Chain A
C-alpha cells in the first residue's frame, strides 16, 4: 500500500493540467500549458533535478540541433536556455550541405538546470510540486476513460482535466554496474516505483528499455598534454531565433580528444563475463547508436582504437564527462580501463559509469498528437515514449503540452507531419513503427531533409507557433518581414544581369570559376559550387541594405535557396504527393473487418495502429500498396453512403 486510507485528501486548488516529471520534456510541456493560459502543476521527485542533464553535457548535435531550433521556432524554451548557459559552441558538418549543418553546444549543466528552473518559477500559471505521482485518476464517460486528476505517494489528490506524462527514465528505474544494482533513477535520484502498475491497470502497454552513461572524472587528475584540444567555433551561432548573435560571443572552454588502445580493449575483453549485459542481469534493450565501450569492442573487434572525448560538465565543477566510453562494467574494471587511456593514467573517478533500465511505453498507443488513443486527456512525451536524448524529449514535451492545452481549448490537436519538421518525423516514427531500442533522431530518418533545415526552422514553424499562441506578435512580424526580404532579393538576383566585363571575369577567375562567354544573371552565378551570394557581392552594385538584425539570416537563406533550388524543388514536388495521402483522414470509427478484400495481416495491423490518415497507414509494415488502394475505395464508398 502506498498510503493509508485516512491520508487521502483532496487538494482544493484548481488545476487544468498536471505534468508529471520536470525533465526536458516536462519543462517544455508545463511551460506551453501555462503560457497558453492554463493553470498548470508540474510534479518532480526532486526540485533540485529540474531540467537535469544526467548524461552528456551538451545540447544539439546532428539532427538534434534541428530539433532544438524547431522547439524554439514553435515557442519552446530549450534554445533560449542553452544560449544563456553554453560554454562552447560548434556548428557541425559545416563543410557539408546546409541540410546537415547542426549546431551543438557544451552546456554548463548546473547553470542550465538552474536557469530553466528560474524560467519555470517565474512563469505565471505554473506551480512546481515535489512529489511522486502514483495514480492517474480517471472516470468512464460513454465507455471511454477520461482523466480527472492525479494522486501522489502521500495520498493527496490533485484534480485536473489533462495529464502529461514525462517520467523520463525514472519509472521502476534500476542502475547497474558489475554486480551492483540499485533501484534508483539517474544520478542516484529516487525512482518512481508505483506509476507503472497504475498505467498497466489503465490498459497501457509497457516496455523496458536500457541506456547507459560513462564515468565522470576529476579534471585535476587528467593529463591534457596527451590529448588533442577541441575548440569551439570562432563565430558562435545561437540556437534561438530570438537571441542576438552579438550578445553571445564569448570565451569558450575546450573539450579534449584521446583514444582507447589495444590494452583498453584487452582489459574489457578479459572482464566481459563480469558485465551485467553479457551475464544477462540486464534484460532491457540498449540503443545501437550509443553503444557502451564493451559493445563497441565486441562488435567492432577489428578497430584498434576508439575516440574518447573529455568534456567539461560546467564552469564551477571539476567533473568531466568521458564521451565514447559509457559502460556497465564493475567498478574495479572501470578504473583499470579508463586508466589505460592516454592522459587518464592517474584519473580519479567521481561518479561511476552505469547502465540504467526503466519502464517506458510502446508509443504506438498514442495518436500523433501524443494523446493516448484510449484515454481522453492523457498525453505523454520524452523518454517515457521510448525515445532518447534531451532534444527529442523537449520536442515531444512541447508538442504534448501544446496538445493538452488545445484539448482544453476545444481545438483540434496540432500534428506536425514528416514534411514539416523533424519533430514530425520523430513523432510519426514513434507512433507508427515498432521499436526495440530508445529512438534517436538522425538526419537520415528525414526523407525531406533538404527542406527541414535548421536554418529555416522559423520559416517552417513560427507561423504555426503564432497561431497556437506561443509566439508573440513582434516575433511573428519579424518573420514575415524576413520572408519578404528573402523573396524580393531572390527575384532581384534572377533579374540582375552581368556581362562579360573585365570586373566580372577577374572575380570569377580569382575564385577558380570558368569565365563567362555571354551575359548571365546573378542567380546563375550563385549556383556555381565555387561561388556564393557573398563572394559575388562586389559585382552586385545594387545590393540592398538589410536591417541589421536580419542581415545574416536573409543572406544565408538567399544563398541556400538559390544554390540548391533544383534539389529543393524536387523535394517540394515529392512533398506535394506525400501531402495528398496525409490529407486523406481515416474516420475514427472505421471497422476494418467490414473492408472486404483487405488481407488479414493488413486488417490486424490497421486495427492495432489505428492510423489517422491513409498516409500513415501506408507506412505501417505489413500494409501493402494494394491494401491502400482497397482502403481508398472503401473510404470513398463510406463517404458517399453518408
Chain B
C-alpha cells in the first residue's frame, strides 16, 4: 500500500506525437506539487491563484526547462475527481509528457493506479450512482491492462535482476530478524560492515536499472509492431535489417521462427516494440501450429502490422488469409526479395488493398538481403505516426513511471539503510528500510511481501528452544 502521498498523477491523453498532451495531478497536494515544478512570470505561485484559471509558464526540473505549458488550476470539489486538480497542457510528444510526469512524481505525487481518477470521482460523489458499474469496469479493465503490461512488458532479464536484488535483501533482513528474535542463538555482532558492503553493491545495481528505465530498456514500451507473413517470406531478415543486427536466426528453411521474438527500437524518435512471428500457413506440425496461433494473437493486439510478402512467389491461399486478417488494421506491406525475379507486383497488392478498403496502406518494395527500401519504410511509419493515425495506450508509460517510481523508492530505502549504519543506529532499524525496499521492488514484479520474511527466517536460520 502506498502511504506517502495521496496525490496522484498520470498522463491523461493518448500517447501520440500529434497535438497536445495533458498530465493531470489530483489530490490535496496537487497545487503544491505543481508549484514545485512550475515557473511562471513574476514568480507567481499557483497555489495563490484563483480556481478555474489558466496560467502560462514552464515546467522545470533541476533547473532544466522541460516544456512550455499551460496550466489549468481547479480547486475541489468542482473538479472531475472532486479533489484539487491541476492539468498541465504540454506540447505533446511522448518524451516530453513522460518527463513532465516524472517531474510531478519527483515533486511528491505518485503514479496513479489503474482507474484511480475515475474511482476517486465516484468515491467523492462526483458521479451518478448508476455509473458505479461502469466505474468498476474501468478499474478492472485498466487493471487487467496494467497487469498485463506490467508483467508481460517487463523484460525477462529485468525481472530476474529485480528478483535477485529482492532475494538478497530478504536474506539480510531475515538474518537480522532471526538474531533479534533469538539473540541467544544468533549473533549479529559486526554484521553492519557486511551489510554496508552488500547494500552499496545492491544500490549500484538499482542505479543501473534506473538508468536503463530512462531509455526504455526496462519496459517494452512503444508502438506494438508485429511482423507477419508466410513462412520464408523473410520476416526475420526484415527484423534484423531494422535492428541492424543478427537477432533472429535466418535460414532458407521455411518455418525457422517457431515462436515470437521481440525487440525494441527507436526509429527517429518513435519508439517501436517489434514482434517477429512464426510464418502463417496451414500446418500439421504441432509445434509450428502453436507458433502460428501465437502469431495471429499477437497481430490481433498490434498497433501496427508489417506484412512481409515474398515477391518472388505468386500469392496463394495463405496470403489471402493474412490479408483477411489485417483488414481494418494499420498496416504497411513490404514486398521483400526485390532483388529476385518478381512473381507478385506492387500493383497486384494495391489492387487487393483497394478491394478491402485499405487503399491508403503503404506498399513498399524492399530487399532485406541488399538492405534496400529501408528509408521508404521508415518514412511510411513516421507518416502514420505524425498524422495521428498511430498512437498507443498511455498505460504503458504510466506503468513505466510506476516502475521507475518504485525503483527510486527502493534506492532511497537502501540509502536510508546506509545512513542508519553510518549513524550507528541499532540493527532493527536496518530491517525497516530493507523491507521497504523489498516491498517497492515487489510492486514492480507484482509480488507482495506476505509471509516471505517469516518463511525465510525459518528456512535459512536455525532457531532455538
| Chain A positions near chain B (C-beta within 8 angstroms) | 56, 62-63, 92-93, 95-97, 99-100, 288-291, 296, 299-300, 303, 306-307, 309, 323-324, 326, 433, 442-445, 449-450, 529-530, 567, 573-574, 577-578, 581, 596-597, 618, 621, 624-626, 629-630, 632-634, 636-637, 640-641
Which B179-229 residues sit within 8 Å CB-CB of chain A? 180-185
Is B458 an interface residue when CB atoms closer than 8 A count as contact? yes
- Residues of B contacting A450 in the complex (Cβ-Cβ under 8 angstroms): 432
Q: How far is the CA of A307 from the CA of B187 in the complex (A)?
A: 13
By the criterion CB–CB under 8 Å, are A290 and B431 in contact?
Answer: no
Q: How far is the CA of A573 from the CA of B180 in the complex (A)?
A: 25
By the criterion CB–CB under 8 Å, are A529 and B184 in contact?
Answer: no
By the criterion CB–CB under 8 Å, are B123 and A633 in contact?
Answer: yes
Q: How far is the CA of A634 from the CA of B134 in the complex (A)?
A: 11
User: Which 8 pairs, one residue from A and one from B, show the smallest C-beta to C-beta distance?
Assistant: A97-B426, A626-B143, A290-B465, A288-B458, A444-B177, A577-B3, A97-B428, A597-B136
- Give the contacting residue for A444; candidates B1, B2, B140, B453; CB below 8 A: B453
- Residues of B contacting A634 in the complex (Cβ-Cβ under 8 angstroms): 132, 136
Q: Determine, out of B33-41, B114-122, B384-392, the stretch whose residues face the partner at the interface.
A: B114-122
Q: How far is the CA of A324 from the CA of B139 in the complex (A)?
A: 52
* Chain A, Cβ-Cβ closest to B185: A307
By the criterion CB–CB under 8 Å, are A444 and B454 in contact?
Answer: yes
Q: How far is the CA of A632 from the CA of B429 in the complex (A)?
A: 34
* Contacts known (A291-B463, A573-B3); A636 close to B183, Cβ less than 8 A: no
- Residues of A contacting B465 in the complex (Cβ-Cβ under 8 angstroms): 56, 289-290, 323-324, 326
Is B462 an interface residue when CB atoms closer than 8 A count as contact? yes
Not counting A443-B428, A445-B454, A634-B136, a sample of 18 additional A-B residue pairs whose C-beta atoms are within 8 angstroms of each other reads A93-B180, A93-B183, A97-B427, A288-B458, A290-B465, A307-B184, A442-B181, A577-B1, A596-B133, A618-B1, A621-B448, A624-B143, A626-B140, A626-B143, A629-B139, A633-B123, A633-B132, A633-B139
By the criterion CB–CB under 8 Å, are A529 and B113 in contact?
Answer: no
Is B464 an interface residue when CB atoms closer than 8 A count as contact? yes
- Residues of A contacting B139 in the complex (Cβ-Cβ under 8 angstroms): 597, 626, 629-630, 633
Is B424 an interface residue when CB atoms closer than 8 A count as contact? yes
State how many angstroms separate the Cβ of B115 from the closest Cβ of chain A. 7
State how many angstroms separate the Cβ of B134 from the closest Cβ of chain A. 10
| Chain B positions near chain A (C-beta within 8 angstroms) | 1-4, 113-116, 119, 122-123, 129, 132-133, 135-137, 139-140, 143, 177, 180-185, 423-429, 431-432, 448, 450-451, 453-454, 457-458, 462-465
State how many angstroms separate the Cβ of A84 from the closest Cβ of chain B. 25
State how many angstroms separate the Cβ of B273 from the closest Cβ of chain A. 25
- Residues of A contacting B119 in the complex (Cβ-Cβ under 8 angstroms): 629, 632-633
By the criterion CB–CB under 8 Å, are A529 and B1 in contact?
Answer: no
- Residues of B contacting A442 in the complex (Cβ-Cβ under 8 angstroms): 177, 181, 454, 457
By the criterion CB–CB under 8 Å, are A433 and B183 in contact?
Answer: no
* Contacts known (A95-B426, A633-B135); A62 close to B123, Cβ less than 8 A: no
State how many angstroms separate the Cβ of B288 from the closest Cβ of chain A. 34
* Contacts known (A62-B182, A629-B113); A529 close to B454, Cβ less than 8 A: no
- Residues of B contacting A289 in the complex (Cβ-Cβ under 8 angstroms): 458, 463, 465
By the criterion CB–CB under 8 Å, are A444 and B132 in contact?
Answer: no
- Give the contacting residue for A303; candidates B4, B423, B462, B463; CB below 8 A: B462
By the criterion CB–CB under 8 Å, are A573 and B4 in contact?
Answer: yes
Q: How far is the CA of A492 from the CA of B177 in the complex (A)?
A: 36
- Residues of A contacting B453 in the complex (Cβ-Cβ under 8 angstroms): 444
- Give the contacting residue for A100; candidates B180, B451, B463, B464; CB below 8 A: B180
* Chain A, Cβ-Cβ closest to B124: A636
* Chain A, Cβ-Cβ closest to B142: A626
State how many angstroms separate the Cβ of B176 from the closest Cβ of chain A. 9
Query: What are 30 A-B contacts defined by CB distance under 8 Å?
Result: A56-B465, A92-B183, A96-B426, A96-B428, A97-B428, A100-B180, A288-B463, A289-B458, A289-B463, A290-B464, A306-B462, A309-B184, A324-B185, A324-B465, A529-B424, A577-B1, A581-B1, A596-B133, A597-B140, A625-B113, A626-B114, A626-B140, A629-B113, A629-B143, A630-B136, A633-B122, A633-B135, A634-B136, A636-B122, A636-B132
Q: How far is the CA of A567 from the CA of B431 in the complex (A)?
A: 12
By the criterion CB–CB under 8 Å, are B454 and A99 in contact?
Answer: no
- Residues of B contacting A633 in the complex (Cβ-Cβ under 8 angstroms): 119, 122-123, 132, 135-136, 139
Q: How far is the CA of A288 from the CA of B116 in the complex (A)?
A: 41
By the criterion CB–CB under 8 Å, are A300 and B462 in contact?
Answer: yes
By the criterion CB–CB under 8 Å, are B113 and A324 in contact?
Answer: no
* Chain A, Cβ-Cβ closest to B449: A447
Q: How far is the CA of A11 from the CA of B139 in the complex (A)?
A: 60
State how many angstroms separate the Cβ of B169 from the closest Cβ of chain A. 14
Q: How far is the CA of A220 from the CA of B159 in the complex (A)?
A: 61
* Chain A, Cβ-Cβ closest to B139: A629
Q: How far is the CA of A619 from the CA of B113 in the complex (A)?
A: 18
Q: How far is the CA of A636 from the CA of B127 in the complex (A)?
A: 11
* Contacts known (A62-B183, A299-B462, A636-B123); A99 close to B425, Cβ less than 8 A: no
Q: How far is the CA of A449 from the CA of B426 in the complex (A)?
A: 14
State how many angstroms separate the Cβ of A419 from the closest Cβ of chain B. 12
* Contacts known (A96-B427, A577-B1, A629-B115); A621 close to B136, Cβ less than 8 A: no
State how many angstroms separate the Cβ of B181 from the closest Cβ of chain A. 5
State how many angstroms separate the Cβ of A574 from the closest Cβ of chain B. 5
Q: How far is the CA of A573 from the CA of B132 in the complex (A)?
A: 31
- Residues of A contacting B115 in the complex (Cβ-Cβ under 8 angstroms): 626, 629
State how many angstroms separate the Cβ of B334 from the closest Cβ of chain A. 40
State how many angstroms separate the Cβ of B1 from the closest Cβ of chain A. 6
State how many angstroms separate the Cβ of B174 from the closest Cβ of chain A. 8
Q: How far is the CA of A389 from the CA of B450 in the complex (A)?
A: 23
- Residues of B contacting A92 in the complex (Cβ-Cβ under 8 angstroms): 183-184
By the criterion CB–CB under 8 Å, are A444 and B180 in contact?
Answer: yes
* Chain B, Cβ-Cβ closest to A635: B123
- Residues of B contacting A443 in the complex (Cβ-Cβ under 8 angstroms): 177, 180-181, 428
State how many angstroms separate the Cβ of A455 from the closest Cβ of chain B. 14
- Residues of B contacting A99 in the complex (Cβ-Cβ under 8 angstroms): 428
- Give the contacting residue for B451; candidates A97, A323, A324, A433; CB below 8 A: A433
By the criterion CB–CB under 8 Å, are B428 and A100 in contact?
Answer: yes
- Residues of A contacting B133 in the complex (Cβ-Cβ under 8 angstroms): 596-597
Q: How far is the CA of A215 from the CA of B197 in the complex (A)?
A: 44
By the criterion CB–CB under 8 Å, are B462 and A296 in contact?
Answer: yes
Q: How far is the CA of A394 from the CA of B4 in the complex (A)?
A: 36
* Contacts known (A597-B137, A632-B123); A567 close to B424, Cβ less than 8 A: no
Q: How far is the CA of A577 from the CA of B110 in the complex (A)?
A: 15
By the criterion CB–CB under 8 Å, are B137 and A62 in contact?
Answer: no
By the criterion CB–CB under 8 Å, are A62 and B180 in contact?
Answer: yes
* Contacts known (A633-B123, A634-B136, A636-B122); A567 close to B429, Cβ less than 8 A: yes
- Give the contacting residue for B129; candidates A63, A449, A632, A640; CB below 8 A: A640
- Residues of B contacting A597 in the complex (Cβ-Cβ under 8 angstroms): 133, 136-137, 139-140
Most chain B CB inside 10 Å of its own CB: which residue of A433, A450, A633, A637: A633
Q: How far is the CA of A433 from the CA of B455 in the complex (A)?
A: 14
By the criterion CB–CB under 8 Å, are B424 and A530 in contact?
Answer: yes
Q: How far is the CA of A597 from the CA of B137 in the complex (A)?
A: 7
- Residues of A contacting B432 in the complex (Cβ-Cβ under 8 angstroms): 450, 567
Q: How far is the CA of A581 from the CA of B2 in the complex (A)?
A: 12
* Chain A, Cβ-Cβ closest to B460: A300
By the criterion CB–CB under 8 Å, are A307 and B464 in contact?
Answer: yes
- Residues of B contacting A296 in the complex (Cβ-Cβ under 8 angstroms): 462
- Residues of B contacting A581 in the complex (Cβ-Cβ under 8 angstroms): 1
State how many angstroms separate the Cβ of A251 from the closest Cβ of chain B. 22
